[in-house]
Structure 1
Amino acid sequence: MSTSPRLVTLPDIERAAESIAATCLRTPVVPLVREDGQIPLWLKAESLQPTGAFKLRGATYAIARLDAAERRRGVVSHSSGNHAQAVAYAARVAGVRATIVIPDTAPSLKVEATRRWGAEIVVVPPADRLACAEKIAAETGAVLIPPYDDREVIAGQGTVGLEIAEQVPDLGTVLVPVSGGGLVSGTAAAVKALRPDVRVVAVEPELAGDLAEGWAAGERRVWSVADTSRTVADGLRTDSVGVLNWAHIQAFVDDVVTVTEEEILAATGEIVRGARFVVEPSGAVAAAAVLAGTVAPTGGTTVAIASGGNVAPETLARVLV
């Protein structure tokens, strides 16, 4: 007989917040000001984290939960870039050895940043990254730190939602970018526990819309890496939302929408100009839903999570022309 997975709770997220406080920033919520002076939404600036993305929260908490024997064996993970950097950085802070499996399609900027934090890098084709990480874990005893389908990782990412609920008294809507679903799972769990009337909307690139398809069908859907790799939002190219993440999304998310490639790039440029901090296309996906008119503001303040800022210079130049 199957049982429902145990969801992350507010006390889980509060424990995570206390645990990661010394390593992760409490990032600001800042206005996006349009040329006409209007403020259509506010942005949770996770691109200001030491590794340039929210992923540091979940990685830091997952590594903090390891016992002494596990720390001695080291950690291994797989990622297209932002989780890779997060695990490498968190492992370095904790004095733990880290090996990261990275797909050969990952931006060189993110690969080199991961290497700078001291991790050993293994590069493989995108479809092989999980199997390779699992093989390394089996052969070396290293602890696998999943990018999203994990209770500790979800609790760590949930500290973003905890902060938003505390920082914005008149919060009305929170928009969250989605790939594997760690950020939206934790954020939605925290927001709904503290502010049940707040609307939580998950946002995906249209070209990586496995969650949107599953949401419409009422069942989790899996897309191929070849499909999701088409999007310019390279941080959102995983093949599917995780199993545990799907359960959280069903429990706590109010709606799922998608945005086009053109809308993502337009939002990237508008955030840099209007909020005056750097985001990568993945980090602009949530805001794009409002800026393109896909999600209309309702009562209260609308906040979009700007999830990361590890953008290649040529991409940034392209959107600022």
Structure 2
Amino acid sequence: MITVADVEAAAERITGHVIRTPTVPSPGLSALLGAHVTAKLELLQRTGSFKARGATAKLLTLSEAERAAGVVAVSGGNHGIGTAVMAGALDIKATVVMPRSAPGRAVDIAEAAGASVILADTMDGAFALVEELRTKGLTLVHPFDDPVVIAAQGTVGLELAEDAGELTDVLVSIGGGALISGVATALHARRPGVRIWGVETEGARAMSAALAFGGPVPVELSSIVSTLSAPSASQLTYEHVSALVTDVLAVTDAEAVQGTLELADHAKVWAEPAAGCLLPAARRVLERVGEGARLGLVVCGGNATTSDVTAWAERFGLR
């Protein structure tokens, strides 16, 4: 498992390449939820999500030979964008493999950054294709099964610990689990006693399944939230979450989209459902912990278009 020293080293490595995103009290969300809420606005990060942190850290560790050969990433959207854009900025050739369910905007941005994008029929197929490409000499920039990436994602937690007021509970979305693993590591060191809660959608429950089984297991993916749709957790992220996280909650896709609409209305930020899922989960956390809670929400990304969210809202009959 990584340590807070690893996270601090990652913070030094990526300084100047990524943004220290705002950590702000949210009067609107506090009124909505009936508890004090602080939001870490990682949707304002370069490339629109926290993924730029891990991608940058990994790219900066490459040897000259690895840089010359290029890198490959597998992604449901945001990790592909982050790897493509940051590789382009560092003059490294990138190939990004995404499932056909990935947002079209993610494909367009990755290609505009100079990456080669390959579409697979499923997320499982995307991961399999990446393994094939690795045999051709490309270095894998894994979205979550890499201690370098986890430590860099943990810099979100480091900044939250330094910039937020008093917190009792922090909610973090989970796909493969790198973000929550890194954030939990940083917060347990810097804010002992703060509870960490993970949030998944019901059609992408890789970490919940791993916790129930006692280790990573494949899961069937059916969520519209492609950016949280990992086919399984990794042993590395499972170990961090099982040791450091209070519980992992699951919400429906409809609840996640409703959360996106509420973030727009009450927090005045345009987030994606991977972040919208935090609001229904926050209500459940408040039911469990009682009065006096002070919440921190890691608003992880904002790469959904207005058309995407409108279509999902109509599909689920939301207003």
Structure 2 partner of 1:95: 91
Q: Residues of 1 paired with 2:31 and 2:297: CA distance? A: 20
Structure 1 residue 315 displacement after superposition: 2.9
Matches within 5 A, 1:212-227: 212-224=208-220
1:287 aligns with 2:283: no
1:249 aligns with 2:245: no
1:164 aligns with 2:157: no
Structure 2 partner of 1:310: 303
Q: Residues of 2 paired with 1:131 and 1:73: CA distance? A: 20
Question: Quick one: structure 1 residues 199 and 35, their matched pair in 2 at CA, closer, same or farther if it must change by over 3 Å?
Answer: closer
Question: Quick one: structure 1 residues 173 and 292, their matched pair in 2 at CA, closer, same or farther if it must change by over 3 Å?
Answer: closer
AA in 1 matched with 2:4: L
AA in 2 matched with 1:301: R
In structure 2, which of residues 126, 131, 134 is the aligned counterpart of residue 137 of structure 1?
134
- Is the Cα contact below 8 Å between 1:168 and 1:301 reproduced in 2? no
Q: Residues of 2 paired with 1:131 and 1:32: CA distance? A: 45
1:90-121 superposed Cα distances (whole Å, 9 cap, x missing partner): 11111111111111111111111111111011
Question: Quick one: structure 1 residues 170 and 35, their matched pair in 2 at CA, closer, same or farther if it must change by over 3 Å?
Answer: closer
RMSD: 2.0
Structure 2 partner of 1:237: 229
Tell me whether 192-201 or 311-320 shows the greater mean CA deviation: 311-320
Structure 1 residue 216 displacement after superposition: 3.8
- Is the Cα contact below 8 Å between 2:30 and 2:36 reproduced in 1? no
Structure 1 residue 20 displacement after superposition: 1.1
Structure 1 residue 157 displacement after superposition: 0.4
Structure 1 residue 300 displacement after superposition: 5.0
Tell me whether 104-113 or 124-133 shows the greater mean CA deviation: 124-133
- Is the Cα contact below 8 Å between 2:2 and 2:147 reproduced in 1? yes
- Is the Cα contact below 8 Å between 2:257 and 2:309 reproduced in 1? no
Q: Residues of 1 paired with 2:106 and 2:310: CA distance? A: 17
Structure 1 partner of 2:17: 23
Q: Secondary structure at the match of 1:51?
A: helix
- TM-score w.r.t. the length of structure 1 is 0.90
1:178-203 superposed Cα distances (whole Å, 9 cap, x missing partner): 01001011111111111120000111
Structure 1 residue 9 displacement after superposition: 0.7
Question: Quick one: structure 1 residues 107 and 137, their matched pair in 2 at CA, closer, same or farther if it must change by over 3 Å?
Answer: same
- Is the Cα contact below 8 Å between 1:289 and 1:295 reproduced in 2? no
Structure 2 partner of 1:63: 59
Q: Indicate the percent of aligned positions where both proteins have the same amino acid.
A: 35
Q: Secondary structure at the match of 1:258?
A: strand
- TM-score w.r.t. the length of structure 2 is 0.91
In structure 1, which of residues 83, 101, 108 is the aligned counterpart of residue 104 of structure 2?
108
Structure 1 residue 75 displacement after superposition: 0.8
1:153-212 superposed Cα distances (whole Å, 9 cap, x missing partner): 101100011111111131211111001001011111111111120000111112222322
Structure 1 partner of 2:143: 147
AA in 1 matched with 2:277: V
- Is the Cα contact below 8 Å between 1:32 and 1:271 reproduced in 2? no
Structure 1 residue 12 displacement after superposition: 0.7
AA in 2 matched with 1:26: R
- Is the Cα contact below 8 Å between 2:207 and 2:216 reproduced in 1? yes
In structure 2, which of residues 25, 28, 34 is the aligned counterpart of residue 33 of structure 1?
28
Structure 1 residue 42 displacement after superposition: 2.3
Q: Residues of 1 paired with 2:150 and 2:160: CA distance? A: 16
Structure 1 residue 66 displacement after superposition: 1.0
Q: Residues of 2 paired with 1:138 and 1:222: CA distance? A: 23
AA in 2 matched with 1:179: G
User: Structure 1: any 5+ residue segments left out of the alignment?
Assistant: 1-6
Question: Quick one: structure 1 residues 315 and 295, their matched pair in 2 at CA, closer, same or farther if it must change by over 3 Å?
Answer: farther
User: Structure 2: any 5+ residue segments left out of the alignment?
Assistant: none
Q: Secondary structure at the match of 2:135?
A: helix
- Is the Cα contact below 8 Å between 1:175 and 1:287 reproduced in 2? no
AA in 2 matched with 1:117: A
- Is the Cα contact below 8 Å between 1:77 and 1:101 reproduced in 2? yes
| Alignment length (residue pairs) | 310
Structure 1 residue 33 displacement after superposition: 0.5
Matches within 5 A, 1:184-223: 184-223=180-219
- Is the Cα contact below 8 Å between 1:81 and 1:114 reproduced in 2? no
